[in-house]
């Protein structure tokens, strides 16, 4: 397989760099989002360099636990800010946890499958943080709440 067609090299086309537009304006959430992004990046690095399926599965499991923690934490901030859209937002979170959990249980050592899933996670993250999480930022000003 030549370099261009090798799925391992396609990871380099994914952009994991933190961008200003990802900022929600709430430091605690932004910090956790940065960690989320770097956790996905780490999985792709391991896949590209070592291809250790068991280790990758464990890293994915770590990502599931971290995502659960992050969602819980973010929802608590939303609750603290009296965000009216909390229930709907919790459903979006629950949907991703379901997808993640199902995927972890079914993923095999197919690198293409990992690649597609990482792509999906990256897209989900960009859309969710920019379109959904940002909705609570104005509340911080209204209530005068300054998480961290």
> Who's near 60: CB < 8 A, 6+ residues apart?
43, 100, 103, 104, 107
Site string for Fe ion, 7-46 (x = CB under 5 A): ----------------------------------------
Distance CA 139, CA 131 (A): 15
| Shortest spacing between CB 126 and Fe ion, in angstroms | 12
In eight-state DSSP terms, residue 109 is S
Token output for 93: 């979170």
Interface mask toward Fe ion for 64-103; x: CB under 5 A: ----------x-----------------------------
Crossing angle between the packed helical segments 27-49 and 111-127, to the nearest 10 degrees: 160
Nearest residue to the partner Fe ion, using Cβ: 133
Count, residues near Fe ion per rule CB under 5 A? 2
- Residue 121 binds Fe ion, judged by CB under 5 A: no
Footprint on this chain of Fe ion (rule: CB under 5 A) = 74, 133
């Amino acid at each position: 397989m030549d370099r261009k067609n090798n799925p391992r090299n396609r990871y380099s086309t994914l952009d994991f760099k933190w961008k200003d537009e990802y900022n929600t304006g709430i430091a605690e959430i932004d910090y956790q989002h940065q960690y989320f992004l770097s956790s996905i990046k780490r999985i792709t690095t391991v896949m590209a360099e070592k291809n250790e399926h068991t280790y990758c599965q464990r890293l994915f499991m770590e990502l599931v636990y971290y995502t659960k923690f992050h969602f819980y934490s973010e929802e608590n901030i939303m609750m603290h800010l009296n965000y009216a859209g909390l229930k709907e937002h919790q459903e979006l979170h629950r949907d991703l946890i379901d997808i993640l959990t199902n995927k972890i249980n079914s993923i095999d050592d197919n690198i293409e499958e990992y690649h597609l899933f990482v792509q999906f996670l990256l897209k989900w993250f960009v859309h969710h943080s920019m379109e959904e999480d940002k909705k609570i930022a104005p509340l911080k000003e209204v209530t005068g709440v300054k998480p961290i």
